[in-house]
């Protein structure tokens, strides 16, 4: 019998100037009705490009397919198919959900209008019939108070709600295939679990085939019947999910499976003395209304947080987006205004101002989440790392500084010969190492790590965690490690603080929190992260 979707020797190449890049090289796979196929790979492996070529959504003619490429859907050839055929299939028979719910909805239209658009295009529905169907769909995807939200604009919805609207749009015409391109990557862990469960339920209900594109192996294990592992544009391994997780054959798959951050931090006995302490720290942003901008209320981003960070240890700050953990970190470094006591090594930081604070900046450094935006694009690596040394007049003359920079680059695992290259020539993981080098070259005692691993691929994440642990052991730096990923936190933190809505929900030694979480919120976070209970595990799909 013929598969619903048959992709054969698909090749995609991108031309840019005189160079051609082959993003996908001869990929073949089938997708049967009702099954879930996961396409797994790290960034740049060509998995999204493969998905987009199914609907012919790539920027042609910059992108092109080889003549041997073939994508047959329900007996019809899609490669180089005419616009009329493609329009009939897009959003109707094959629908797609994208990664970023913040940008995949049009901010200027209500959600009713956006969901109704596909209904109007493919089913000719309009008016009250369309409205009824939109409400039905929104209820189906579990959007609370669907009826009253019809006139909401995307900015009035949270990330998870937007993703539900996106799914409602995709499901509007009951497609045969749903392509989900990293559908949960941009969402918080607890929301992630809900969305995945929703996808699973809907799939069972409509008998859709689901092509799930992801880099997250936990999701694959939860969801997929079959797995395709992609790297550098080729499929290196394929098989049933259980088989692949039990006995991976290809070295790349093995590497991917082994890439989870492991180990626990080195314990100190007795516990060292406190380096950073805060008492009742608050960051309130005023909400101003009316003609005279009177302060009507406050957004309490951080609301009365006490924390203790000990010398040479790691305090993990855990919470979902909007919980105020990054704001807390910035307030500790005095990069934003705050109230409450901040004591660093016996000195009150909150009493110091710009000039008097500057000498102390050397001892407290920061590494940000996004390695693509945290390095000046117009400075070379050496210049970036050198800047701090120059400001604090450290490292002697130019030649000695250069030696210090090269030593530092080597220490974070970069080739010192690359010092004169620019950030855009490096991968995400390498850039994060540069950011680390910039912070560490000043020999700080306190390092704020704001989600330093979450923008990185799995295997790179694990290396980064190793490196951080090693550096802490060698130099005795105290880390304030902000993350939403409990797996990484477990590998690094001595103490843990769980935050929600600007308040501390739970805090204490890592071991005891992981062993016996007290609050319901912490338990939910753990469940989502460690996959203890999820969507009912379906033993066999066949």
Partner 1 sequence: MTPLARRRLRNFRANRRGVWSLWLFLALFGLSLCAELIANDRPLLVRFDGHFYFPVVADYEETNFGGDLPIDADYRDPSLAQRIDARGFMIWPPIPFADDTINYNLPSPAPSPPDRVNWLGTDDQGRDVLARLIYGFRISVLFGLTLTIVSSIIGVAAGAIQGYYGGLVDISFQRFMEIWSGLPVLYLLIILSSIIAPNFWWLLAIMLLFSWMSLVDLVRAEFLRARNFDYVRAARALGVGDATIIWRHVLPNATVATLTFMPFILNGSITTLTSLDFLGFGLPPGSPSLGELLAQGKANLQAPWLGLTAFAVLAVMLSLLIFIGEAVRDAFDPRKVR
Instruction: Identify the residue among 330, 412, 489, 528 touching partner 1 (CB under 8 A).
Output: 330
Task: Select from 481, 499, 486 the least CA-distant residue to 529.
Answer: 486
Instruction: Identify the residue among 204, 296, 351, 391 touching partner 1 (CB under 8 A).
Output: 391
Contact 261, 76 (CB under 8 A): no
376 near partner 1, judged by CB under 8 A: yes
**Which lies closer to partner 1 via its Cβ, residue 99 or residue 432?**
432
**Which lies closer to partner 1 via its Cβ, residue 109 or residue 361?**
361
Alpha-carbon gap, residue 190 to 283, rounded angstroms: 25
14 near partner 1, judged by CB under 8 A: no
- With CB under 8 A as the contact rule, which of the stretches 79-87, 231-239, 367-375, 408-416 interacts with partner 1? 367-375
**Which lies closer to partner 1 via its Cβ, residue 102 or residue 267?**
102
Return the structure tokens found at 472: 């802490």
Apex 248 CA angle, 29 and 218, nearest 5: 80
- With CB under 8 A as the contact rule, which of the stretches 112-120, 234-242, 281-289, 355-363 interacts with partner 1? 355-363
437 near partner 1, judged by CB under 8 A: no
Long-range contacts of 328-331 (CB under 8 A, 24+ apart): 328/281, 328/283, 328/302, 328/482, 328/499, 329/366, 329/448, 329/450, 329/480, 329/482, 331/281, 331/283, 331/302
**Which lies closer to partner 1 via its Cβ, residue 62 or residue 126?**
62
364 near partner 1, judged by CB under 8 A: yes
The enclosing H or E element of 23 equals: strand 19-31
Instruction: Identify the residue among 120, 221, 255, 362 touching partner 1 (CB under 8 A).
Output: 362
Interface mask toward partner 1 for 264-283; x: CB under 8 A: --------------------
- With CB under 8 A as the contact rule, which of the stretches 132-140, 375-383, 408-416, 469-477 interacts with partner 1? 375-383
62 near partner 1, judged by CB under 8 A: yes
379 near partner 1, judged by CB under 8 A: yes
Question: Tokens 């993703």 — which residue?
Answer: 163
435 near partner 1, judged by CB under 8 A: yes
C-alpha distances (whole Å) from 325 to each of 312, 317, 348, 479 are 21, 7, 21, 14
Instruction: Identify the residue among 72, 123, 361, 523 touching partner 1 (CB under 8 A).
Output: 361
Which residues are within 8 A (CB) of 332 and not within 5 positions of it... i.e. 6 or more apart?
A: 276, 278, 281, 342, 349, 364, 448, 480
Q: DSSP per residue over 50-88, as a string?
A: HHHHHTT-S-TTTEEE-TT-EEEETTEE-TT--HHHHHH
422 near partner 1, judged by CB under 8 A: yes
Q: Closest separation between CB of residue 360 and partner 1, Å?
A: 8
Instruction: Identify the residue among 20, 288, 392, 443 touching partner 1 (CB under 8 A).
Output: 392
Q: DSSP per residue over 184-236, as a string?
A: TTTS-HHHHHHHHHHHHHHHHHHT-EEEEEES-HHHHHHH-SEEEEEETTEEE
290 near partner 1, judged by CB under 8 A: no
388 near partner 1, judged by CB under 8 A: yes
The enclosing H or E element of 135 equals: helix 127-140
358 near partner 1, judged by CB under 8 A: yes
**Interacting residue ranges for partner 1, rule: CB under 8 A:** 16-17, 62, 330, 333, 335, 357-359, 361-362, 364-366, 368-370, 373-376, 378-379, 387-388, 391-392, 422, 435, 438-439, 442
């Amino acid at each position: 019998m013929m598969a619903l979707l048959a992709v054969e020797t698909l090749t995609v190449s991108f031309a840019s100037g005189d160079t051609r890049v082959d993003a996908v090289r001869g990929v073949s796979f089938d997708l049967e009705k009702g099954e879930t196929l996961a396409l797994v790979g790290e960034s740049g492996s060509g998995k999204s490009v493969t998905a987009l070529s199914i609907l012919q959504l790539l920027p042609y003619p910059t992108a092109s397919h080889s003549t041997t490429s073939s994508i047959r859907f329900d007996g019809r050839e899609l490669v180089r198919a005419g616009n009329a055929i493609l329009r009939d299939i897009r959003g109707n028979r094959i629908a797609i959900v994208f990664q970023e719910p913040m940008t995949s909805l049009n901010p200027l239209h209500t959600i009713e209008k956006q969901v109704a658009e596909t209904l109007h295009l493919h089913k000719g529905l309009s008016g009250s019939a369309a409205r009824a169907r939109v409400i039905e769909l929104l209820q189906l995807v579990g959007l609370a108070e669907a009826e009253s939200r019809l006139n909401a604009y995307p900015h009035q919805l949270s990330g998870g709600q937007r993703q539900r609207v996106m799914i409602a749009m995709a499901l509007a015409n009951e497609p045969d295939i749903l392509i989900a391109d990293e559908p949960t990557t941009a969402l918080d862990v607890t929301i992630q679990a809900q969305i995945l469960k929703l996808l699973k339920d809907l799939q069972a209900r409509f008998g859709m085939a689901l092509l799930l594109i992801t880099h997250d192996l936990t999701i694959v294990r939860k969801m997929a019947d079959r797995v395709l592992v992609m790297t550098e544009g080729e499929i290196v391994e394929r098989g049933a999910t259980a088989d692949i997780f039990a006995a991976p054959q290809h070295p790349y798959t093995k590497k991917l499976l082994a890439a989870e951050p492991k180990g626990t931090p080195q314990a100190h006995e007795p516990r060292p003395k406190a380096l950073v302490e805060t008492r009742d720290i608050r960051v309130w942003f005023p909400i101003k209304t009316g003609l005279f901008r009177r302060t009507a209320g406050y957004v309490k981003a951080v609301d009365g947080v006490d924390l203790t960070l000990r010398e040479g240890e790691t305090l993990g700050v855990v919470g979902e987006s909007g919980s105020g953990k990054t704001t807390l970190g910035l307030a500790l470094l005095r990069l934003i205004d705050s109230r409450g006591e901040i004591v660093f090594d016996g000195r009150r930081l909150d009493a110091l101002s710009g000039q008097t604070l500057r000498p102390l900046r050397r001892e407290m450094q920061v590494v940000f989440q996004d390695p693509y935006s945290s390095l000046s694009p117009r400075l070379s690596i050496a210049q970036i790392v050198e800047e701090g040394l120059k400001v604090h007049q450290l490292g002697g003359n130019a030649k000695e500084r250069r030696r210090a920079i090269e030593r530092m680059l080597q220490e974070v695992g970069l080739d010192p010969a690359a010092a004169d290259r620019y950030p855009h020539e490096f991968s995400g993981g390498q850039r994060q190492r540069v950011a680390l080098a910039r912070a560490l070259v000043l020999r700080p005692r306190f390092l704020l790590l704001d989600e330093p691993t979450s923008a990185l691929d799995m295997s790179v994440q694990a290396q980064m965690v190793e490196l951080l642990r090693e550096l802490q052991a060698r130099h005795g730096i105290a880390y304030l490690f902000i993350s939403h990923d409990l797996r990484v936190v477990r590998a690094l933190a001595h103490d843990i603080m769980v935050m929600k809505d600007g308040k501390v929900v739970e805090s204490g030694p890592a071991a005891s929190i992981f062993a016996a979480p007290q609050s319901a919120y912490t338990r939910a976070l753990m469940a989502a992260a460690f996959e203890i209970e999820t969507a009912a595990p379906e033993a066999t799909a066949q």
